[in-house]
A and B are shown apart, each in its own frame.
Chain A
Amino acid sequence: MKFKTFFLQRVLAWALTIWIGVTFIFFIPRMFPSSPVESMIAQMTSRMGNLQPEQVQALQKQLSIQFGLEGSLWEQYVSFLWNGLLHFDFGPSLMSYPEPVGNIIGTYLPYTLFLSLFSTLVAWLLGNFIGLLAGFRKNARSSKILEGIAICIYPIPYFLVALVLQILFCFVWRVFPLQANIKLSADFATWFGSLVWASILPAISLLLLGTGWWIISMKSLAGTTAEEDFVMFARYRGLSEATIGRSYVLRNSILTQITALAMSLGGVFGGSIMTEIIFGYPGVGTLIQNAILQADYNMILGTITISIVAISTATLIVDLVYPFIDPRIRYS
């Protein structure tokens, strides 16, 4: 009964979060000072010459219908909730009309997921492992060095690291191509090889900084846990340091990191815009950037709705799984 209430509360919070998020993201682009219809007309008149006022009006109407922008804001909103949120049909991309937004996102999302998931998970594992060692043995010299490195790396903007990597490895040493070239039409092995090759530098740039953050946070958590009474008691019991580290410090410190990982995993749908731009890596981040610049409402809605749903769902899953991981919550 308790779990049922807990479950319903969490699901309700999840649905509410998504609804508020997508409502904001529906209305915000419509408050932009730009308009896809006017942009399109401007492009057309720059090539064809000026149009009569009545022609402009006709064109505005025609493009509004084409782009699904006809009707009141309320009608558009209801239509979006039904089609976009419930059926994930965001309509056509306004700038790549009539290609459906879903198709375009479907093309680019796997690349973002591959890059971001890989770098996030590896950074999490690596960072937490190093952070645990550093926190658990915080007086050791190696711990201090590792913490120093992490503190130095973490504040560097990830795009700066990306730029340095590009200059060194693509321009000076010419190991990697300046722009990613993923051979989608080739056989599987060639395609996968080209994907991995294109992902190495972007992944390193994300990994370096991600690892730094996990090291710092885990060191802090592990350091605090290592001073808890139950750890001291374990030492008095004569347990080995490895067992204390694994069963006492890690298990108690990792809970916060799991929540943070879930949030990070949800965030990978947004991509890493600058990394993608610098390395020419195809991904959702670039789509979001272009959509905002070109006032492509449907694309903005599509990409950000997916991101909102992903983060919310990740948080929900963590909330639901947490009681199974942490007995304190289960029995509270």
Chain B
Amino acid sequence: MKKRSIALLLAVALLFTMVLSACGGESNSSSQGSSSEAGTSSAAGNESSSEAGGESSAESSEAGTGNKAAAGITTEVGTPREDTLIVECQSSTDCAGQFNTYMTGTGTGFGIHQLMSAHLWEMQTAKGHQYGEVVESAESNDDFTEWTIKVRQGIKWSDGEDLNADDVVFTFNMIKENDNIGANSYTNMYIDKVEKVDDYTVKFTMTEPFPRLDQCFGITVWGCDWRIVPEHIYSTVGDVTQFKDEQPVVAGPYTVDQYDPLGSWILYKLRDDWQQSTLGVVGAAEFGYTADQVPPKYVWFRYLGDSTTKQMAMVNNEVDVLCEMTLEELQAMTEMNDKIGAWMNEFPYANADDPGAKGIVFNCGLGAPYDNADFRWGICLALDIDALSENIFSGAGRAAPIPLLNNTNVMQELYTIPMTEWLENFELDLGDGTKFKPYDTGYAERMAQKLGYEGTEEEKINTFGAGWWKHDEEAATKLLNKAGLEKVDGKWQYEGKPFTFEMSYIADSEFQVGRGVQAAFNQLQAFGFDCTITSKSSSTWSVDDTNGNYQIAGYWPSGGNYLKDIYRPFTGFDNTLIQPVGQNSQGGYGGRWNNQRVTDILHEMANLSPEKDEDKCYELATEMLQEFVKDMPVINFLSGTKFVPTNSTYWQGYPCADDPYDGPWWWWSCFKYMLPKFTAVEG
């Protein structure tokens, strides 16, 4: 009996081993020709394995040219790997097959706006330059109440029709007339009429002087809600908000080839006539792309689930670009596969130009002491940026001293560095007859020394920032005393009572700000604040933010941009928008910070042209930033620091510190303009 049991057990084990060998063996054999370093050899050709199985081998022999690293490998969706760029999408969709971005649930970031949509204006983030995509040129009358735009000629829809003024006019009128479209309210607020002048000319009549048509109705950061639709298709649809557009006709360079009806991936295919797409026409005009710079034939956007799965997929070369990981995750991946990199190939790895400086926001709507600049400055000087930065990403990231200003490379060059003299001379009145100059330009040098970073002065400032605020507990104590707080037995009190506050952060995203708040919480507790810390989901935060249901929160309160004209990201700090706590307030991003001078500046800038009145706009913008510093409504820690992994086993040419032709923003609409730079790695 025993012998029989053992024999049975052995037989099962043998069978199991055979099954494993059968399934796994083939994949290893197809790994030839791929990168063999860092344990990736067995991983390399494996996409043709398992369930891709039978169908893949025939296709791969046909597809393989033998001179590409990915030759002979077929993806799970049946395309040759050497022709397929695989891009991570951050979420799956419940609306598979829905490509109309004017329907509410459409997953615009699932490759739709990156590859198919056409916008009036697009953004080049590395240079801080906005350029016309559908728009060839735009002119306004003297008081900016009328805009006449010329539509680029030569762009064709994927069904061969020309993109022209009819499409632009139809799109805007469709939005204006349909209050189920999200952009309807904003569009009607500023645009009175949109009319066709001729086949390639459109006239916008505004409801008020409106000098920033390009910034407000074009892209400055991620994307925008005005995507031009084909009039010859959408005009035949009864209700455009109920039209799924399952086989979209597009002006972008890719069309939908296949998609997962369960919503986990979409495969896009390069149009045969892609040179008549936005990328072909605008890419040649704006980037000088030539006909031989052909983008990947397929781009496969896939949702990869949790962070562990993403890491495993990239180490196994099953994805070429991921959206964002932590420093530790990136380092773990690079140790297992040396073809994986990021913006920089060594520490600090990250791109620090994401337009969202992370820090803490005070809810000024709660009254004293939160609405007191001395209190906020006291908190700021009690914080130690060196320790904060080390806690966030081990010192990686560029310090962002000016509140609300996203200290991207462009913004630092345009504003932070030119303001150095003012910042160095800026003084705080400590309330005891003494003054204190808080600006500290030594941060970059200190961090470089601590981390062993070698580089020129300019490189250090670019990497770690031009400066931040001094850590000075004595000055902080005096300012807090001035604000009415008192330290009794090592604990802060306000108006004779123990002073407590809650610090919150978003739990389900935003590693950077979460870690920053946790570190700040520890520092403030050590400084004698009896504070607590809590985490919230994004959806909870969106309500708490606008309703003012927080005391001090970690967030990225300034939706920045890359343009010299910084009016638009700060329009929310107009004090006329502020509502009482408990009501939805768009003002001050929910922080309800009320500064009359900032409001006056914003009103003045609103009527100035960023082009014609460039100097005046810059002067006012600088003054506004000075007001930010004086009042310290939020404390920025570091500029948006993103670890965006790329895998160069099969594809190369990603933007990076050595070739910064754009930022690594695969989830933004500008992604399409990077693709001609991506080339398949030779075997």
Contact = CB atoms under 8 A, between A and B. Distances in A.
B223 interface: yes
A56 B584 contact: yes
Given A51-B186, A174-B316, A293-B539, A277 B105 contact: no
B305 A280 contact: yes
A41 interface: yes
Nearest to A103: B94
Contacts of A41: 542, 546, 584
B542 A42 contact: yes
A95 B94 contact: yes
Interface of A: 32-36, 38-53, 55-60, 62, 66, 93, 95-99, 104, 107-108, 111, 163, 166-167, 170-171, 173-182, 184-185, 193-194, 197-198, 277-280, 282, 286-287, 290, 293-295
A135 to B, nearest CB: 20
B593 interface: no
A42 B94 contact: no
Interface in B158-216: 179-180, 182-183, 185-186, 189, 216
B20 A175 contact: yes
Given A97-B105, A293-B537, A178 B304 contact: yes
29 contacts: A32-B539, A34-B537, A38-B543, A38-B546, A39-B543, A47-B225, A48-B186, A48-B224, A50-B571, A50-B586, A50-B587, A53-B584, A53-B586, A62-B185, A95-B105, A96-B94, A98-B105, A98-B241, A99-B95, A173-B20, A174-B24, A174-B46, A175-B50, A180-B264, A181-B260, A181-B264, A181-B265, A197-B50, A295-B539
Given A36-B539, A178-B309, A280-B264, 19 more contacts: A34-B542, A49-B571, A51-B586, A55-B186, A62-B179, A66-B104, A99-B94, A167-B312, A170-B312, A171-B315, A174-B42, A178-B312, A179-B264, A181-B77, A181-B264, A184-B260, A184-B262, A198-B51, A278-B305
Contact of B543 (A34, A62, A280): A34
B261 A174 contact: no
Contacts of A279: 305
Contacts of A167: 312
A113 to B, nearest CB: 15
B309 A179 contact: yes
A92 to B, nearest CB: 9
A181 B577 CA distance: 48
Interface of B: 20, 23-24, 27, 42-43, 46, 49-51, 76-77, 92-95, 98, 103-105, 179-180, 182-183, 185-186, 189, 216, 222-225, 241-242, 258, 260-265, 302-306, 308-309, 312-313, 315-316, 318, 508, 536-540, 542-547, 549, 559, 568, 571-572, 574, 577, 579, 584-587
Contacts of A108: 262
Contact of A52 (B49, B304, B577): B577
Given A179-B304, A280-B264, A50 B24 contact: no
Contacts of B76: 177, 181
A223 to B, nearest CB: 22
Contacts of A178: 304-305, 309, 312-313, 316, 318
A174 B104 contact: no
A49 B94 CA distance: 27
A107 B304 CA distance: 20
B94 A104 contact: yes
A33 B540 contact: yes
A44 B225 contact: yes
Contacts of A194: 51
A47 B262 contact: no
Nearest to A44: B182
A295 B308 CA distance: 26
Given A51-B186, A59-B185, A96-B94, A174 B179 contact: no
Contact of A45 (B50, B549, B586): B586
B340 to A, nearest CB: 15
Nearest to A175: B23
B587 A280 contact: no
Contacts of B571: 49-50
B222 A47 contact: yes
B261 A185 contact: yes
A110 to B, nearest CB: 11
Contacts of B182: 40, 44, 48
B303 A175 contact: no
A163 B264 contact: no
Given A66-B180, A277-B306, A53 B579 contact: yes
B104 A39 contact: no
Contacts of B50: 174-177, 197
Nearest to B315: A171
A55 B309 contact: no
Contacts of B183: 44, 48
Contact of B577 (A48, A53, A198, A282): A53
A169 to B, nearest CB: 8
B216 A49 contact: yes
Interface centre among A43, A51, A93 (most CB of B within 10 A): A51
Contacts of B315: 171
Contact of B24 (A47, A111, A173): A173
Contacts of B577: 50, 52-53
A182 B262 contact: yes
A290 B105 CA distance: 13
B578 to A, nearest CB: 9
A282 B586 CA distance: 37
Contacts of B180: 62, 66
A320 to B, nearest CB: 36
Nearest to A33: B540
Interface centre among A44, A62, A163, A174 (most CB of B within 10 A): A174
B337 to A, nearest CB: 12
Given A51-B186, A174-B49, A280-B303, A38 B542 contact: yes
Interface centre among B179, B261, B262, B263 (most CB of A within 10 A): B262
B577 to A, nearest CB: 6
Nearest to B261: A184
B43 A174 contact: yes
Contacts of A177: 50-51, 76
Contact of B302 (A44, A166, A170, A179): A179
Nearest to A97: B104
Interface centre among B224, B258, B264 (most CB of A within 10 A): B264
Contacts of B242: 98
Contacts of B309: 166, 178-179, 278, 280
Contacts of B92: 286
Contacts of A287: 94
A97 B543 CA distance: 20
The 9 residue pairs across chains A and B that have the minimum distance between CB atoms: A96-B105, A34-B539, A97-B104, A42-B542, A50-B572, A50-B586, A282-B262, A184-B261, A171-B312
Contact of B95 (A96, A111, A180): A96
B542 A39 contact: yes
B567 to A, nearest CB: 10
Given A50-B587, A98-B104, A184-B262, A197 B24 contact: no
Contacts of A97: 103-105
A170 B241 CA distance: 41
Contacts of A62: 179-180, 185
B370 to A, nearest CB: 20
A27 B258 CA distance: 40
A102 to B, nearest CB: 12
B556 to A, nearest CB: 10
Contacts of A48: 182-183, 186, 216, 224-225
Contacts of A35: 539, 542-543
Contacts of A282: 262-264
